[in-house]
């Protein structure tokens, strides 16, 4: 059996769409109908007329697609595809935190659970966080959760104080500043580009800071340059396809691992075999209680309107 042909056949037969994040393994990106960042993926999920959405990404992304599409089946190849950042913000603790600051507008990064979204005023992604924060009147205090690094970065960009939740992403905090400086000494003509989930000392070295889609666009627009890329290494597949002649090096991780880069173990639990199995069996699928879904939908729709 040719698994790729079988996935294509099942997709047609079941009127399914495959949405994949840039951090997915190359084989999954290749078979996907759309590959994008968190914002692009939620926009695609909001507009699709497919009956089944196969979400090759992590749980909070598939959950967002389900919140937008309650009558569609949303499949996730492996339910263990979680997110350290989403886990760093348990809904009960977050509810207490926002109750202690009732005058604050609550902005949450999309990397959080449906329960946390249900406690939120506006959702954002790394593509639109700046725009969303700037859309809130100057005099209104803001709670920003769960990513402290993105929050700090937005505070510096806007000059605006925000109350930050102390969460972070293990993948973006795995970069080693010492190794990055050494690497830059070896490749002094390479520009460093970084995702805003990275720590402040990494961001300070970067020529460009943006979402995964933003980083890809930046590299496309500067195709004559060379880059050290500080985000999950899966992005290099799409980047190299877009700019085949550009030299790209992944930013080094603190721990030595097989790729000497930073990989998201959650993203990588999805495989092409699991994608095939879930499309064939229509499981595992995402469920969200109707009460939470309705409440979480409001801040997601506000984000989509503002984007």
Query: In the complex, which residues of this chain contact ligand SF4 (CB under 6 A)?
Result: 58, 83-85, 111, 169-171, 197, 232, 264, 266-267
Nearer to ligand SF4, 136 or 267 (CB): 267
**Spatial distance between the Cα atoms of 58 and 112, rounded to a whole number of angstroms:** 11
* Interacting partner of 266 out of ligand SF4, ligand 13P, none (Cβ under 5 to 8 A depending on kind): ligand SF4
Query: Which strand (E) or helix (H) includes residue 249?
Result: strand 248-250
Task: State yes or no: residue 38 binds ligand 13P (CB under 6 A).
Answer: yes
Per the CB < 8 A criterion, the answer to whether 92 and 105 are in contact is no
For 273, other C-beta atoms within 10 Å of its C-beta total 11
Nearer to ligand 13P, 111 or 168 (CB): 111
Pairing of strands 73-75, 226-230: unpaired
Nearer to ligand SF4, 104 or 214 (CB): 214
Per the CB < 8 A criterion, the answer to whether 266 and 58 are in contact is yes
- 20 Cβ neighbours under 8 A, 6+ residues apart: 28, 29, 32, 34, 35, 36, 56, 57
| CA torsion through residues 208, 211, 216, 217, sign | negative
* Interacting partner of 211 out of ligand SF4, ligand 13P, none (Cβ under 5 to 8 A depending on kind): ligand 13P
Residue 68 CA, distance from chain mean position = 17
User: Is 108 annotated in some ligand binding site?
Assistant: no
From 134, 145, 83, select the one nearest 109 (Cα to Cα).
Answer: 145
For residue 289 the two structure tokens come to: 């209680």
User: Is 259 annotated in some ligand binding site?
Assistant: no
* Interacting partner of 94 out of ligand SF4, ligand 13P, none (Cβ under 5 to 8 A depending on kind): none
User: Is 111 annotated in some ligand binding site?
Assistant: yes
Per the CB < 8 A criterion, the answer to whether 98 and 120 are in contact is no
User: Is 71 annotated in some ligand binding site?
Assistant: no
Query: Which of 20, 37, 54, 64 forms a contact with ligand 13P (CB under 6 A)?
Result: 37
For residue 294 the two structure tokens come to: 């309705």
For 159, other C-beta atoms within 10 Å of its C-beta total 6
User: Is 169 annotated in some ligand binding site?
Assistant: yes
Task: State yes or no: residue 211 binds ligand 13P (CB under 6 A).
Answer: yes
User: Is 80 annotated in some ligand binding site?
Assistant: no
User: Is 197 annotated in some ligand binding site?
Assistant: yes
Nearer to ligand SF4, 52 or 58 (CB): 58
Q: 52-111: which residues touch ligand 13P (CB under 6 A)? A: 111
* Interacting partner of 69 out of ligand SF4, ligand 13P, none (Cβ under 5 to 8 A depending on kind): none
How many residues form the binding site for ligand 13P (CB under 6 A)?
10
* Interacting partner of 84 out of ligand 13P, ligand SF4, none (Cβ under 5 to 8 A depending on kind): ligand SF4
User: Is 140 annotated in some ligand binding site?
Assistant: no
For 129, other C-beta atoms within 10 Å of its C-beta total 26
Nearer to ligand 13P, 3 or 170 (CB): 170
**Spatial distance between the Cα atoms of 128 and 33, rounded to a whole number of angstroms:** 23
Task: State yes or no: residue 149 binds ligand 13P (CB under 6 A).
Answer: no
From 1, 3, 2, select the one nearest 273 (Cα to Cα).
Answer: 3
Nearer to ligand 13P, 60 or 276 (CB): 60
Q: Residues marked as binding?
A: 21, 38, 83, 109-111, 126, 169, 195-197, 212, 264
Q: Residues marked as binding for iminosuccinate?
A: 21, 38, 109-111, 126, 195-197, 212
């Amino acid at each position: 059996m040719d698994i790729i042909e079988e996935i294509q056949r099942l997709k047609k037969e079941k009127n399914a769409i495959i949405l994949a994040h840039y951090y997915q393994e190359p084989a999954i990106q290749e078979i996907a109908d759309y590959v994008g960042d968190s914002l692009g993926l939620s926009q695609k999920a909001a507009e699709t007329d497919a009956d089944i959405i196969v979400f090759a990404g992590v749980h909070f992304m598939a959950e967002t697609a389900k919140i937008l599409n309650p009558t569609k089946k949303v499949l996730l190849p492996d339910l263990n595809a979680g997110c350290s950042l989403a886990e760093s913000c348990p809904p009960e603790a977050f509810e207490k935190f926002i109750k202690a600051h009732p005058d604050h507008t609550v902005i949450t990064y999309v990397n959080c659970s449906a329960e946390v979204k249900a406690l939120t005023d506006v959702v954002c992604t790394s593509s639109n966080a700046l725009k969303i924060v700037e859309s809130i009147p100057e005099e209104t205090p803001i709670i920003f959760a769960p990513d402290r690094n993105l929050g700090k970065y937005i505070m510096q960009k806007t000059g605006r104080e925000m109350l930050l939740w102390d969460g972070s992403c293990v993948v973006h905090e795995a970069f080693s500043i010492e190794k990055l400086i050494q690497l830059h000494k070896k490749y002094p003509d390479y520009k460093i580009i970084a995702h805003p989930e990275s720590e402040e000392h990494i961001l300070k070295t970067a020529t460009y800071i943006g979402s995964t889609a933003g980083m890809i666009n930046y590299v496309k627009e500067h195709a004559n340059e060379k880059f050290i890329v500080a985000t999950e290494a899966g992005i290099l597949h799409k980047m190299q396809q877009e700019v085949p002649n550009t030299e790209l090096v992944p930013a080094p991780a603190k721990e030595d691992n097989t790729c000497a880069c930073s990989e998201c173990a959650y993203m990588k639990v999805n495989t092409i075999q699991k994608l095939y199995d879930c499309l064939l069996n229509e499981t595992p699928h995402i469920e969200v209680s109707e009460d939470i879904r309705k409440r979480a939908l409001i801040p997601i729709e506000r984000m989509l309107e503002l984007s």
